[in-house]
Amino acid sequence: MSNRKTDPLFQLISTLSRAEKRYFKLYARRLRVNESAKFLKLFDIMSRIKTYDEDFILMHTPVSKQQLANMKAHLYRQILTSLRMQSTEHDCELQLGEQCDFAKLLYKRGLYRQSLKSLERAKALARNYHADNLLASMISFERMIESQHITRSYYPRAEELIQEAEEVLEKVHRCEVFSNLSLRFYGMHIRTGSIRNEYAKPFVEEYLHANCPDLDANAGFLEKLMFYQMQLWRYFILQNLTMCYRYSLSWIRLFKIHPQMKQSLSMLYLKGFHYLLEALFYFNDYHRFIRGLKSFEYAVETIKRPDKNTRIQSFVYLYSHRLNQHFMEGSFSEGIEQLLPELTLALNKYSNYLDAHQLMVFDYKIACLYFGNGHFISAINHLERIINRYEEGLREDLQAFSRLLHLLACYEAECFDKLEKQIKIVYKFFLQLNQRGKVQHAILKFLKELGDIYPDQLKSRFIKLKNELSEYFEDRYEKKSLLYLDIISWLESKIENKPVKDIIRIKFLKKTNQTPLAKHFHSSRP
């Protein structure tokens, strides 16, 4: 039996709003012959059920089992056609596609000059929205018409078309290069996270210099956007957070220069804020982070008629950074009481649309929230969800730190019976992934020796480990490990015999009047 995740038609219908369902019924009933159509009855039944049940559908619709597959395929096409018609007015890409379709229909009827006029309108719209790929296709079609039919065009028009085509194709080529590099760097980050030592840095830089063209002085919107995205991922991998901040800021400012793109590329617009907030979180620049978060929330509110994808990504970014805010403030109790209930509801709503990486990140952040508030069993439950659905090649750095935090949570929850066994499993995991940096090695060694430490020696061993790890704050490649897992604050809590949330809160109150980035970017504001 199918379910919501595997039946495409049911999944499509479940994404429709009430207005979209109403519009579809009006569209489908535009012809009287469709009033009692079987596909409409199938739509009504599938709109009402909560989970896909084929036997129930067959029982309540006048469709045989043999007819069901074809009927579902027909209904699927009809819904997509309805959605396209409903969305064309507000979607510039659909408008461009419609104009191109009109031009082709006119051409096939021998109305060449009318076809060219339709193309001119479409090209003007494409230029306004920087849709260079579609513009290149339109120019190619226009070139074909001009080369095969007498349209009374004057001679210079041929040269103009050639020059226009060459310029657009060059733009498209550079965009593709930047986009491919961005995707490659993103893939590296999803697999292993950031580089862990200086030896890996030349590989990234040499690959970039060998494959990346310079940004043209007259580069258009998309070229710049793809270039900023590529550079941002490059510096995330190299752990150069200052440059990440600069390029994310350039990303957002690009949309301010071209405000019409905020609506047509809303998801990319919001993603720029996401990267900006990530950089500010890692810098622990609270004041600028809060200003950026408010700007991001305002940007979300100003998106008119956001599509499903934009709403989903807005949720992911917004709640991820609201969790980060609680980590920065040390307000773990408030996070659990105020944020977690609404986050849980939203996760239940969007879980079918989130990928494994996004779910892993949320589980890790929620586990950190519980750990910081002393709810160690709840933290263990979320960390075990990450460990149990381990996927090879997916955020190996986060997988590694989930296992370390799991060990600390087991220690705090006094699950000593399985701690020794888990240490051996984690040690073997680190060896297999070659993920054992200095921070991980020091923590594993400490946990491995815990059983041989007398109670009166514990405090001195905590102090020794804290001093050892504090030295790594000067090491760029080890420092990020301490941001994933605030082991320093945890050690201080053991040394001072205070809850870890109190330690982090005190640090926050001392730092709120300082902005680490201010001396570097005093005039820059998100």
Q: Are 440 and 481 in contact (CB under 8 A)?
A: yes
Section 178-189 average pLDDT = 82
Greater pLDDT, 523 or 132? 132
Residue 520 predicted with pLDDT over 70: no
**pLDDT score of 149:** 64
pLDDT in tens, 116-163: 888 888 898 888 888 888 888 888 888 888 777 655 555 567 777 888
- By mean pLDDT, which of 39-53, 76-90, 426-440, 458-472 is the weakest? 426-440
CA atoms within 13 A on the CB side of 173: 11
Section 93-110 average pLDDT = 87
Helix (H, G, I), strand (E, B) or coil at 515: coil
Residue 166 predicted with pLDDT over 50: yes
CA distance 130 to 411: 56
**pLDDT score of 319:** 95
Model pTM? 0.78
Distance of CA 157 to the CA centre of its chain: 44
Residue 524 predicted with pLDDT over 50: no
Helix (H, G, I), strand (E, B) or coil at 183: helix
**pLDDT score of 522:** 38
pLDDT-based confidence at residue 35 (cuts at 50, 70, 90): low
CA distance 119 to 426: 62
Q: Are 374 and 336 in contact (CB under 8 A)?
A: no
Q: Are 283 and 517 in contact (CB under 8 A)?
A: yes
Please tell me what DSSP assigns to residue 216: P
**pLDDT score of 175:** 87
Greater pLDDT, 291 or 109? 291
Which positions ≥6 away from 376 have C-beta within 8 Å?
370, 409, 410, 412, 413
Residue 339 predicted with pLDDT over 70: yes
pLDDT in tens, 463-512: 888 888 887 766 666 666 666 668 888 889 989 999 999 999 988 888 88
Structure tokens at 451: 């059983």
Q: Give the largest Cα separation in the chain, rounded.
A: 97
CA distance 490 to 496: 10
Phi-psi region of 25 (alpha: psi -120 to 50; beta: other; left: phi over 0): alpha
Structure tokens at 22: 């109403």
Helix (H, G, I), strand (E, B) or coil at 369: helix
Q: Is the dihedral of CA 384, 389, 393, 395 positive or negative?
A: negative
CA distance 137 to 167: 13
* Three-state secondary structure of 401-467: HHHHHHHHHHHHCCCHHHHHHHHHHHHHHHHHHCCCCHHHHHHHHHHHHHHHCCHHHHHHHHHHHHH
Greater pLDDT, 6 or 334? 334
Residue 266 predicted with pLDDT over 70: yes
- By mean pLDDT, which of 189-198, 410-419, 482-491 is the weakest? 189-198
Instruction: Measure the N-to-C terminal CA separation of the chain; round to a whole number of Å.
Output: 50
Which positions ≥6 away from 504 have C-beta within 8 Å?
327, 330, 332, 372, 486, 489
Section 286-296 average pLDDT = 95
Q: Are 85 and 59 in contact (CB under 8 A)?
A: no
Greater pLDDT, 507 or 6? 507
Residue 202 predicted with pLDDT over 70: no
Phi-psi region of 239 (alpha: psi -120 to 50; beta: other; left: phi over 0): left
pLDDT-based confidence at residue 213 (cuts at 50, 70, 90): confident
pLDDT-based confidence at residue 371 (cuts at 50, 70, 90): very high
